[in-house]
């Protein structure tokens, strides 16, 4: 590493960690399997998180947010995800994608209009980039916005959208120019209740089942030009910058899930007796735990490095991609090993690691697959 980084823990971080841990143990842990099994999106929980300032962690206080930095934000996401990945994912999407996009690229009038509602969770926010036939290939999106007087008329659909049904507004990337050109995409805010804006199919997912994932459908949806974020044609560039920060979010989500699975595996290995002694005393188990702990530590260092650069407004495309790629892959490995340590019990829903195992896989897919992260990293180191 070519420069020094500051990872020192502040009193604020310690207070936030305790607050998040206490909240998660009281309000999330008792319900995680109920929500997971029935695919319940606990909307009221996010209102509670909003009252604690956790739905506007990065939003300045003048807009109703907490005005904190990325290190504190990582602590919030890790703390929640250590208990439930679904809640951590939903929390991350609201903070870093929708709210983060308006914070970074909205004008003063737009910020004053929407950020106070988002930061307090009076409104929940969705963010729409992906479509059914354009996942990683976002430049060929089909959703269009056509000018008509003082409005845009939007037609198309977005897939895999967190809060796609329950969100009160969405930042939507739409094609306003030529397909395949980065300058052909713009970002427009669409409020729920706008005629022609509706929710479509809700996905039945392997994991993250308490995090709502649906289609958003636009059928001659008329939106004022005042809802355009930045300039026409800036949408794709904006989205890529938003995803730089979003990668820190997903990396933190992965880290929290990995830590939760690791905690459960350590506790179980100390309690579970075989051949007259705890299984933690066997080298096969203790070495597995050593590998898990080392990879978690390395993932956290990459995340803290990216967060530090983000806080200092330094370029961090490479570092955030590295953090997201490594942490998400570590998350899957740690969750897999945790199930192995639990043995047959790890395969049942009576113990926590099977849910960590199911939730972990999303981290290698969401907000850019591991393969896309490698493309980003390679591009950065080769230019």
Active centre residues (catalytic): 367
Name which of 259, 253, 209, 240 is nearest 368 in CA terms. 240
Structure tokens at 86: 């679904």
Q: Is there a contact between 235 and 251 (Cβ–Cβ < 8 Å)?
A: no
CA torsion angle 308 311 313 317 (round to 10): 50
Beta strands in 272-317 (DSSP E): 273-274, 277-278
Name which of 29, 7, 4, 91 is nearest 56 in CA terms. 91
Strand, coil or helix: 121: coil
CB atoms within 10 A of CB 54: 26
Q: Is there a contact between 101 and 238 (Cβ–Cβ < 8 Å)?
A: yes
Q: Is there a contact between 56 and 50 (Cβ–Cβ < 8 Å)?
A: yes
Our CA angle for 166, 128, 366, nearest 5°, is: 95
The CA–CA distances, whole Å, from 120 to 20, 51, 161, 378 equal: 16, 6, 21, 39
The CA–CA distances, whole Å, from 47 to 119, 124, 231 equal: 10, 9, 32
Distance in Å from the first CA to the final CA of the chain: 18
Q: State the residue for tokens 């805010």.
A: 189
DSSP state of 363: G
């Amino acid at each position: 590493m070519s420069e020094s980084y500051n990872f020192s823990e502040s009193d604020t971080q310690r207070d936030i960690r305790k607050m998040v841990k206490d909240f998660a143990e009281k309000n999330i842990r008792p319900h995680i399997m109920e929500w997971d099994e029935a695919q319940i999106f606990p909307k009221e929980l996010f209102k509670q998180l909003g009252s604690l300032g956790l739905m506007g962690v990065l939003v300045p206080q003048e807009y109703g947010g907490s005005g904190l930095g990325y290190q504190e934000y990582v602590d919030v996401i890790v703390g929640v995800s250590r208990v439930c990945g679904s809640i951590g994912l939903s929390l991350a999407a609201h903070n870093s994608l929708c709210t983060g996009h308006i914070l970074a690229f909205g004008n003063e009038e737009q910020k004053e209009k929407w950020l106070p509602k988002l930061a307090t969770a009076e409104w929940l926010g969705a963010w729409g980039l992906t479509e059914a036939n354009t996942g990683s290939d976002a430049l060929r999106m089909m959703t269009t916005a056509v000018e008509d007087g003082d409005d845009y008329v939007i037609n198309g659909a977005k897939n895999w959208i967190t809060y796609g049904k329950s969100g009160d507004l969405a930042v939507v990337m739409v094609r306003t120019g030529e397909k395949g050109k980065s300058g052909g995409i713009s970002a427009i805010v669409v409020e729920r209740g706008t005629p022609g804006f509706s929710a479509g199919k809700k996905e039945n997912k392997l994991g993250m089942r308490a995090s709502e994932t649906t289609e958003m459908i636009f059928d001659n949806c008329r939106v004022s030009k005042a809802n355009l974020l930045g300039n026409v044609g800036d949408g794709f560039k904006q989205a890529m910058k938003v995803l730089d920060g979003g990668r820190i979010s997903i990396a933190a989500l992965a880290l929290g899930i990995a830590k939760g699975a690791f905690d459960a595996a350590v506790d179980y290995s100390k309690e579970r007796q075989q051949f007259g002694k705890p299984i933690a005393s066997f080298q096969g188990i203790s070495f597995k735990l050593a590998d898990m702990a080392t990879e978690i530590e390395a993932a956290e260092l990459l995340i803290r490095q990216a967060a530090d650069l983000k806080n200092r407004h330094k370029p961090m495309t490479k570092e955030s991609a590295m953090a997201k790629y490594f942490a998400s892959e570590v998350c899957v490995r740690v969750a897999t090993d945790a199930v192995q340590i639990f043995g047959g019990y790890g395969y049942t829903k009576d113990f926590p690691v099977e849910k960590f195992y199911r939730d972990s896989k999303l981290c290698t897919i969401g907000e850019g697959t591991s393969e896309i992260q490698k493309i980003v990293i390679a591009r950065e180191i080769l230019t």
